[in-house]
Structure 1
Amino acid sequence: MSGKALDERVGYVRLLFKNRAYCAQSEKYWVTDQSQCLPRQIVFYIGHGELGSPAVLVSRNLFRPSLPSESWKEVEGQPGLRLFGRPLSDYYAYSPVREQDAYSILISHIFHCRKDSFITTENLLASWVFWTPLLDSLAHEVPRLYPGGAENGHLLDFEFSGNQLSFSQQQLEQLVPGPGSVPMPSDFQVLRAKYRESPLISAWPEELIAKLANDIEATAVQAVRRFGKFHLALSGGSSPVALFQQLAMGHYGFPWPHTHLWLVDERCVPLWDPESNFQGLQAHLLQHVRVPYYNIHPMPVHLHQRLCAEEDQGAQLYAKDISALVTNSSFDLVLLGMGTDGHTASLFPQSPTGLDGEQLVVLTKSPFRPYDRMSLSLPLINRARKVAILVMGRMKREITMLVSRVGHEPKKWPISGVLPMSGQLVWYMDYEAFLG
């Protein structure tokens, strides 16, 4: 982390050793050079900060460093000074006998051709082989903005999540700032309420996606524990992309080998077409996780070199697969979105099929290109044990307000027909969609 607006200027390299000991006694009984419960660390203090000068710090319960006396001297005691959560007296601390300006040393090494002090072109190019994929993986990540100030320090706190680092999400007890305080975005975290008589979870996009991904994983683990498998039906479009990436990169405990992936809807284009929902699923999720090939169920929109021809009976084939593999045709979880016209899946207003009846999978028409679609029907969706509806973006604010006031009118507003018969419906909305 770096930046001119940060509240503290300090540079260091800190090696903190994993501590496997636990001390039952109070900290006041710990002996600095013997206790195994004190942090064991080596810190190469580069400069600035509270110490103000370069130094090498080694925990007294680790070892006493041996440094050349002509170059290093022991730091004299500074009562009250604490570094990295411990008083300075907890460290063997050494600083250079004579400090030299970094630029003076740099210019001297250039003048004397000290090549060993510089990174070679070969090593520099090799480093980009390592860094480029990491930077590419962050291409869709919005940087965490830090407005400054002690009250916002927790915005930069991070923790280990699986094999990744993630920002810590503090659960604030007080959602409304007290008198005299200025509201900050961080004061408002995940908001739980009701929407159309169903649970609503609302948050900033990053927190919302993380919450939804965690809920999906929890549902998957529970389903595998109970039934030995997890049937998940996913929607396409742009909204779920961040979710797919989160599931792919941040959920190493997800039971992918026991997961069956189905599509909620598909555009009538070849599966390798950029507009194919399956292609989006493949690019952002499937190629990154280990789902057995036979557990992946794309919609059969391309049969006999034709797209969604009724005589090919692709919808009936998909319905048969669902009936054969999904107990009672009840998915464990169905992920839906909501369009600005109130459509969901590929069930559009005034659709002649899919809003009622006995069909599980139907061919539909869209007012947008590509016009021909295949979709799960509302009756099938409503058999699910859990339905999650993800709504994101300011452009959804108007339809969100409108749908909140309508009743059960699936012909006019297909999304209003999503009412699981015996399952649970949960809405996930970001603040822009929910509050504008």
Structure 2
Amino acid sequence: MSSSHLYFIAPFRTLPSSPSLPNLHRIPLLVSRSSHPLTHKALVFSTGIRGVSGSGRYCWRTMAEKGKGKVEVFDSEEDLSVSLGKYTADLADKFSKEKGSFTVVLSGGSLIKSLRKLVEPPYVDAVDWSTWHVFWVDERVVPKDHDDSNYKLAFDGFLSKIPVLPGNVYAINDALSAEGAADDYETCLKHLVKSNVISVSAATGFPKFDLMLLGMGPDGHVASLFPGHPLVKENEKWVTFIKDSPKPPPERITFTFPVINSSAHIALVVCGAGKAAPVNAALGNGQNSDMLPVQMVSPEGELDWFLDKDAASKL
């Protein structure tokens, strides 16, 4: 790989095609040369910044240090949802062609809203939904028709609008206790591993999902793994339960970090200024002695952050 010099010029909306623009404050940057033409739509700098502009919208991307993944910051949640839809559809197509199935794990919160582009053209008609197998990274132990249910949230906002096969949607048994529901869900996963629906990580022996779509709470929690809770250290079980969640409802089941981090791809989708502090803790340069759960997300595969500009405001 050879390198050449370009310049970053603020304010950052577009990138110049020439380094010889006069009378502008210029910062030299090293750009890796590839077989693709260097344009303002496809530039990755050694500083980590990529610019993307067009159609009145833009985002900037940082290629964060190893272990933190790729970070994309969007001007609006609408732009984020457009990109997330394409990202998810592309991965679904890739895995469906490679192995005939696509295992995707959902979370609750605003994540389902951010997937809304998938239920619109062109994706709703173009995606091969028959290959999808849908799971939840965590679930509240409530009836499926309860407003707190992650299943209900996903069904109302996403699953009811796509032709996914009902037998390929794996919700918890809401008739069981928290402990019973966790054990039952883990048994379900083990059966699907044996039947080759879910892959297994050669490195860890834990189930390896194709894509895990995670949100994050204002306290930095992911799934139902909360700051300071003993469950963040669970390293043997695939699925466990919590009865004292600091966020209601108190009883939940959750994947453990060994399962989360065995994923082939993880997308962390975070919007809103209220989540800027934990985003900065995870992606900024500051040192924090108390590691947040979101900082423990480190898949053996690829990690992609999808942030709106408010969530990224402290970076």
TM-score grouping bracket, smaller chain normalisation: 0.7 to 0.9
1:316 aligns with 2:186: yes
Partners of 1:338 and 1:390 within 8 A in 2: yes
1:105-146 Cα distance to aligned partner (Å, 9 max, x none): xxxxxxxxxxxxxxxxxxxxxxxxxxxxxxxxxxxxxxxxxx
1:430 aligns with 2:308: yes
Output aligned runs, 1:192-203, within 5 Å: 192-195=61-64, 197-203=68-74
Partner Cα distance (1:212, 1:311) in 2: 30
CA drift at 1:299: 2.3
Which residue in the other structure is 2:268 paired with? 389
CA drift at 1:416: 1.1
Distance 1:194 1:332, change over 3 A: same
CA drift at 1:335: 0.6
The normalised TM-score by structure 1 is 0.54
CA drift at 1:347: 0.7
SS of alignment partner, residue 73 of structure 2: strand
Identity between Structure 1 and Structure 2 (%): 26
Distance 1:294 1:188, change over 3 A: closer
SS of alignment partner, residue 261 of structure 1: strand
Distance 1:397 1:429, change over 3 A: same
Output aligned runs, 1:164-175, within 5 Å: 172-173=14-15
Partners of 2:234 and 2:257 within 8 A in 1: yes
Which residue in the other structure is 1:189 paired with? 58
Q: Which has the higher contact order (CA 8 A, sep 6+)?
A: 2
Partner Cα distance (1:247, 1:353) in 2: 33
Listed as ranges, the gaps of 5+ residues in structure 1 are: 1-170
Listed as ranges, the gaps of 5+ residues in structure 2 are: 1-12, 25-53, 201-206
CA drift at 1:374: 0.6
Distance 1:350 1:315, change over 3 A: farther
SS of alignment partner, residue 63 of structure 2: strand
Which residue in the other structure is 1:337 paired with? 215
CA drift at 1:223: 0.4
Aligned residues: 255
Partners of 1:342 and 1:399 within 8 A in 2: yes
Q: Which moved more, 1:204-213 or 1:187-196?
A: 187-196
Partners of 2:189 and 2:198 within 8 A in 1: no
1:350 aligns with 2:228: yes
Which residue in the other structure is 2:259 paired with? 380
CA drift at 1:322: 4.6
Partner Cα distance (1:219, 1:311) in 2: 30
The normalised TM-score by structure 2 is 0.73
1:360 aligns with 2:230: no
Which residue in the other structure is 2:48 paired with? none
The structure 2 residue matched to 1:231, chosen from 70, 86, 103, is: 103
Distance 1:352 1:190, change over 3 A: same
Partners of 2:81 and 2:116 within 8 A in 1: no
Opposite residue 416 of structure 1, the aligned amino acid is Q
Name which one, 1 or 2, has greater alpha-carbon Rg: 1
Opposite residue 202 of structure 1, the aligned amino acid is V
